[in-house]
Structure 1
């Protein structure tokens, strides 16, 4: 696949259900993550976190910058994980996972200390465009 512009990259991300939470493409705003910027014809790939921005790489053309960004995003195993909710109760988690499996929906989970190590929660993510298949599943955010 040949992607040459930021607009094409943005469209590719949308059509493949990649999240924009950690990527600023074509001027979209992010708090933390990676992005492409055009400063007078000089393109850059940068990382921003907590208001601090660091340029990681410069490019002479938009096509070079977009190809680099495309490769970075495609290789990021988290870029197409769409968060659908967080569960505390194991029985409810098992119900949700059973429903996802029944629908052949690819998912990923992790466990985080929500209110400390005595209050663990499981976050559920749906991979890629399977996010379109779960609108009817109600989970606490």
Structure 2
């Protein structure tokens, strides 16, 4: 199967492709999987629907006549979504830990990206590190070291 030209034709094939390439199902409902927020495929009579759901509200985005058409569309959407294959292995307030993890991943030639978010406000950023695709299999043990549970008690940070 040439990875650059392969396009799944059924929901089962799309699900298998996602698993084989380490995409996650957090935001995509494919082949009967359930999500709380994101896009998915639903059958309605003879139609297939590409929908978005958030907070229990479903919005129908596109309609298709065949499973093949909707799967091709879903495949293109999922492949274009960098977050669908991003696995967070670092979550810390410590910038030195963020840099240490970046160096470890660089030395292993692992594709990754990092960001900083104001998780607890502008004065208290959290640094996140993501690996892409199946790199998660190689570096999963690093998550236990660099993914920190952060205490949200402001008294402890003064």
Calculate the TM-score normalised by the size of structure 1.
Answer: 0.95
> What CA distance in whole angstroms lies between the structure 2 residues aligned with 1:19 and 1:9?
12
- Distance of 1:9 and 1:54 partners within structure 2: 22
Are 1:65 and 2:107 an aligned pair?
Answer: no
Correspondence 1:6-45 to 2 at 5 A: 6-45=11-50
C-alpha displacement at 1:90, in angstroms? 1.1
Is 1:79 the counterpart of 2:84? The answer is yes
- State the SS of the aligned residue for 2:84: coil
TM-superposed deviation, 1:40: 2.6
* Unmatched 5+ stretches in structure 2: 1-5, 150-158
Tell me what 1:124 maps to.
Answer: 129
Unpaired segments of 5 or more residues in structure 1? none
Distance 1:19 1:110 in 2: 20
Bigger strand fraction: 1
Moved over 6 A (4+): none
Q: Does 1:101 align with 2:106?
A: yes
Q: How far off is 1:77 after superposition?
A: 2.3
Output the aligned Cα RMSD. 1.2
Residue 47, structure 1, aligned to residue 52, structure 2: yes
* CA distance, structure 2, for counterparts of residue 123 and residue 91 of structure 1: 12
1:46 and 1:134 map into 2 onto residues whose CA distance is 33
- 2:93 corresponds to 1:88: yes
Greater share of helix = 2
SS of the residue corresponding to residue 120 of structure 2 reads coil
Length, aligned pairs only: 141
Secondary structure in 2 aligned to 1:79? Answer: helix
Distance 1:10 1:92 in 2: 35
